Amino acid sequence: MKNLNHKLRLPAALALFFAMQAAYALVPEGYQAVIDGAKKEGKLLVYSVTDTALVRPLIKDFESLYGIKVEYNDMNSTELYNRFISENAANSTSADVLWSSAMDLQVKLVNDGMMASYESPEASHVPQWAQYQKQAYGTTYEPLAIVYNKRLVPANEVPQTRAELIKLLTTQADKYKGKVTTYDIEKSASASTT
């Protein structure tokens, strides 16, 4: 039988997404029931890849607005995914909200039936590409950059896309061997290797 523990605390998780709306006094009708349900749960458990120091003001505002304690755990994307999977497999308490840049893993959780559905009244204000099956939502743009040494990479070889970088590294493997770095693939699920 599929573990539904992560779906039981949905009101607290949803209340997190209302925090910014409330700050602008735009809380739509019907949200109060969700907020009341979240207060009964008492706390919101968040697993995130965003450093706690960066979101501390949001957490403080959320707790102040709703009277709901936030237990915020920042970790790398692979750890976040593995922890959520293992806690649910063990039928133990797990996160109400996963906030991760590793969208491949978030989509996998949706496809594996691990996420609760929510049809937000704000969905019409979110680009369609940032919504996946009413279970995963893009909340930020994640900038990716290719940084290079102008003295070592000629202007005509500078890749403009990931595909161009892959082509450069495969067609000129000897030239760039040992000179390219990226995320540690074992620590960050958002990394790629070529």
In this structure, what CATH number is given to the domain that contains residue 89? Answer: 3.40.190.10
Residues 99, 113, 38, 44, Cα dihedral to 10° = -40
Domain count, the chain: 2
SS3 81: helix
In whole angstroms, what is the distance from residue 139 CA to residue 56 CA? 17
Residues 162 and 128 occupy one common structural domain: no
| Summary mean pLDDT of the chain | 79
Q: What's residue 122's pLDDT?
A: 75
Q: What's residue 4's pLDDT?
A: 40
Residues 180 and 89 occupy one common structural domain: no
Q: What's residue 7's pLDDT?
A: 42
DSSP label at 112? T
**96-109 pLDDT, tens digit each:** 989 988 888 888 99
Specify the pTM. Answer: 0.65
**123-176 pLDDT, tens digit each:** 788 888 888 898 888 877 666 677 888 998 889 989 888 888 889 999 999 998
Element (H, E) at 43: strand 43-48
Look up the domain containing 171 and give its range: 144-194
Residues 101 and 35 occupy one common structural domain: yes
Residue 59 Rama label (left phi>0; alpha psi -120 to 50; beta):
alpha
DSSP track, 154-192? -GGG--SSHHHHHHHHHHTHHHHTT------TTT-TT--
Q: How confident is the model at residue 21 (pLDDT cuts 50, 70, 90)?
A: very low
